[in-house]
Amino acid sequence: MSTIKDVAKEAGVSVATVSRFLNKSGYVSENSAKNVLDAIKKLDYQPNSVARALFHKTSKMIGLIVPDITNPFFPELARAVEDVSMIYGYKVLLGNSDGDPEKEQNYLDLFDQKYVDGIIMTSRSSKTDLTLNTDTPIVVLDRANISGLPTVTSNNYEGARQAVELLIEKGAMHIAHIRGPREITSANDRYQGFIDEMLKNNMDYVIAESAFNLKSAEEAAHHFFDKHKQIDAIFCSNDTIAVGFLKVALKKGIQIPADLQIIGFDGVAFGEMVYPELTTVAQPIYDMGAMASRLLIKLIEKEEPEQLLYELKNSIIERGTTRK
């Protein structure tokens, strides 16, 4: 790896000239410019971004904290973050927190030491016992605007409401909701949206609960179907739960969507892999990631963003688990 000194020597100028050339700052004669350029090419010089970072206290990196990249919601988010970050010249440092505040703090500290220019953190829990370095901008994804931090979410409440509307429109008479964990903000919002819309329609409902993973969902489903025979539609707090219920229903020979309609939430890819394909309230996952990045980059570059809270709209995707 050659350094700016090598280039300077090769080009017969000083490092200052090379630096000016590189950064288009200050004057450099046509002749010098040519020499420098030649030298750069000849030596295959690439400026060392660590040295740059040290000087500028800025690294052109953004830190991304997700609970678990293995959870199907997050890869798409991460991809979006990386795509738009890249466009603006930022690299992304990834961290999995497992939703553990300690690990989150850990990454926050790590990121600071690395001079990351900004942080996107997508924590689904609502705990906020973190000490934040106030001069590194942070945007929060997929969680309510609790801490006053810039936030990007989707309207979970409204999405849930619409799910119920759809089910009713499709003729559902006895609707159940399988809610997600109580620590998860979005699960609570969806729950509330469900309740309110059911109440508005004067309908009785059944509530069950499941964690956001398949095993838990299947267990819940077995219990559920043993107990509730009359239910003809289920709104699940996310797609994983929905798929778990779908599987168990299928196994029990329940006709989907004739006897039982199911609608999930999230719009992750595997919704299309099951049969019948899962109807769902799709979050604009990629857009949320992209939006978060753009917002963060504005913050980093001290532009005034229009808003500090973006609540994107969800859209219902009707597929095979609800009636035509």
Cβ neighbours, 10 Å, residue 134: 7
What six digits make up the tokens of 222? 């077995």
For 39, 189, 311, the CA distances from 152, given in Å and listed in that order, are 46, 15, 6
**15 touches which of its own copies, DNA, none (CB within 5 to 8 A by kind)?**
DNA
Examine residue 276 and say whether the peptide bond preceding it is cis (omega within 30 degrees of 0): yes
C-beta of 41: minimal distance to its own copies in Å?
14
The residue among 151 and 280 lying less far from its own copies, judged by its C-beta, is 280
**5 touches which of its own copies, DNA, none (CB within 5 to 8 A by kind)?**
DNA
Asked if 187 and 309 count as a contact pair (C-beta separation under 8 A), the reply is: no
Q: Binding to DNA (CB under 7 A): which residues in 94-113?
A: none
Q: Binding to its own copies (CB under 8 A): which residues in 181-220?
A: 214
40-48, 180-188, 193-201, 219-227 -> range binding its own copies (CB under 8 A): 40-48
Q: Is 135 in the site for DNA (CB under 7 A)?
A: no
Quote the strand ranges of the chain, DSSP E: 61-66, 91-96, 118-121, 138-141, 151-154, 175-179, 205-209, 233-236, 261-266, 279-282, 309-312, 315-317
Q: Is 3 in the site for DNA (CB under 7 A)?
A: yes
The residues, ordered by sequence, that sit 6+ positions from 128 with a Cβ below 8 Å of its Cβ are 146, 147
The residue among 107 and 157 lying less far from its own copies, judged by its C-beta, is 107
Q: Is 48 in the site for DNA (CB under 7 A)?
A: yes
**29 touches which of its own copies, DNA, none (CB within 5 to 8 A by kind)?**
DNA
- Please give the single-letter amino acid code of residue 69: I
Separation CA 217–CA 13 (nearest Å): 68
Separation CA 177–CA 194 (nearest Å): 7
51-59, 148-156, 198-206, 226-234 -> range binding DNA (CB under 7 A): 51-59
C-beta of 20: minimal distance to DNA in Å?
6
Q: Binding to its own copies (CB under 8 A): which residues in 84-123?
A: 91-96, 109-110, 112-115
The residue among 15 and 206 lying less far from DNA, judged by its C-beta, is 15
Q: Is 323 in the site for its own copies (CB under 8 A)?
A: no
Helix 15-23 vs helix 30-43: crossing angle, to nearest 10 = 90
Separation CA 230–CA 206 (nearest Å): 11
The residue among 5 and 200 lying less far from DNA, judged by its C-beta, is 5
The residue among 20 and 143 lying less far from DNA, judged by its C-beta, is 20
Separation CA 297–CA 156 (nearest Å): 25
Nearest to 49 by CA among 36, 58, 37: 58
Task: Tell me, by CB under 8 A, how many residues bind its own copies.
Answer: 49
Q: Is 42 in the site for DNA (CB under 7 A)?
A: no
Give me the residues that bind DNA (CB under 7 A), please.
1, 3-5, 12-17, 19-20, 22-23, 25-32, 45-48, 51-52, 54-57
Give me the residues that bind its own copies (CB under 8 A), please.
1, 46-51, 53-54, 59, 61, 68-70, 72, 74-76, 78-79, 82-83, 91-96, 109-110, 112-115, 133, 214, 240, 243, 246-247, 250-251, 269-270, 272-275, 277
